[in-house]
Amino acid sequence: MNILIDVGHPAHVHIFRNLAGALEKDGNTVLFTCREKECTTDLLKAYGIDYISFGTPYRSTAGKILGLVLFNFRMLRVLLKFRPDITLGHSSMYAAQMSWLLGIPHISVEDTGNMEQVRLYKPFTKAILVPESFHLDLGPKQIRYAGNHELAYLHPARGFSPSRPIASPVYTLLRFVAWNASHDKGHHGISGHNKRKAIDAFSRFGDVFISSESKLPDDLEPYRLTTPPEKIHDVIASASLLYGESATMASEAAVLGVPAIFLDDTGRCYTREEEEKYGLVFNFTESEEDQEKSILKGVELLSTPGIREEWQRRRQKMLSDKIDVTAFLVWFVENWPESMNRPHPPARLSQKPHSPSSPFETTILPPSC
């Protein structure tokens, strides 16, 4: 099969890169399309992935309307030339809409539930794959599975073995976002005052590094992490604490057994589950009171003896409940459309000793929300 995967954010590269490798190993041809947001193309190059860039995404409302037309036209040209049998994307309106126009089945993965995006891709996609913890019901196209996106690349079955790119024995990684995505309207994030307060508090325990989507103030620039973007999970894996505004990085820390603090007024279904069910993440709002509480929680975590061992135990509990998400995605794509048209599509796949023709035992799980 020819398979096209559209990515609009660096995190999407991680979600799909192992899927692409597995599909190619099985004899399929995979092509990525992308927009140049942050380090997306740097990651694609680092992993040796073939891609076509549609350019830089627009930020203004008028620009996004223009981008919808322009990127759809560019997607249409690629689809006509590449002729995929199936397309995939994370909330990709471009791949969904143009695939529908040409009669090509499109599969979406979703975990945020930003309805501004959902409304633009849902009518045109054939399936929407969501974690069990997902908080919305998107109708008959929705299929739940026992995992989250970060387990597509950080599940032990994917062979991630972290190096230590930072020599410091104890350090905190701060993550600040740019707040210019469509789902970021009305958000303000952590104040400059509290960013500096957090740095001062956490610096008492070791070094502090900042990963930031945007330019930092001059006095914070020396804290900027300079590690190549493809090494970010190595940095997270060795950190003593992950603190910031990124749900993805908080969840990545949880999957790796690293204490994480996430601040966002909206929150995410999967970080709530990681807190309420596994105690791996601490969720706070962007209010001044919660920002101050989050800094105190960070100090508490950094002060707790043996916390690393405890978090690894919590991580193992989570992993015992979850699946290798890449294996699920491979199964779903390669068995299309039967994977969608089963009377009871599997919400969970667990690996067992198997023959290549029968790789999974399926267990149907009820929705968790």
Model-level pTM greater than 0.85?
A: yes
128 sits in the region (left: phi over 0; alpha: psi -120 to 50; else beta) called: beta
Identity of residue 199: I
Tell me how many helices (H) and strands (E) the chain has.
14, 14
**Where do the DSSP E strands lie in the chain?**
2-7, 29-34, 51-53, 86-90, 106-109, 127-131, 142-145, 171-176, 207-212, 241-244, 260-263, 281-284, 348-355, 358-363
277-282 average pLDDT score: 98
Q: Is the pLDDT of residue 369 over 90?
A: no
pLDDT over 90 at 103, yes or no:
yes
Confidence band for 186, pLDDT divided at 50, 70 and 90: low
pLDDT tens for each residue of 306-317: 999 999 999 999
Does the structure show a pLDDT above 60 at 362?
A: no
Of 202, 205, 199, 198, residue with least CA distance to 170:
205
**How far from each other are the two terminal CA atoms of the chain, in whole angstroms?**
35
For 181-193, give the secondary structure using H, E and C.
CHHHCCCCCCCHH
- pLDDT tens digits along 128-144: 999 999 999 999 999 99
Contact yes or no for 322/350 (Cβ under 8 A): no
Instruction: Give the model confidence (pLDDT) of 148-179 as tens digits.
Output: 999 999 999 999 999 989 989 999 999 999 75
20-40 in b/e form (b: 16+ CB < 10 A) is bbbbeeeebebbbbbbebebb
Q: CB 163: neighbour CB atoms within 10 A? A: 11
Query: Please, what are the domains in the chain?
Result: 2-158+323-363 (3.40.50.2000), 171-319 (3.40.50.2000)
Bridge partners for 355 per DSSP: 358
Query: Tokens 């709530």 identify what position?
Result: 272
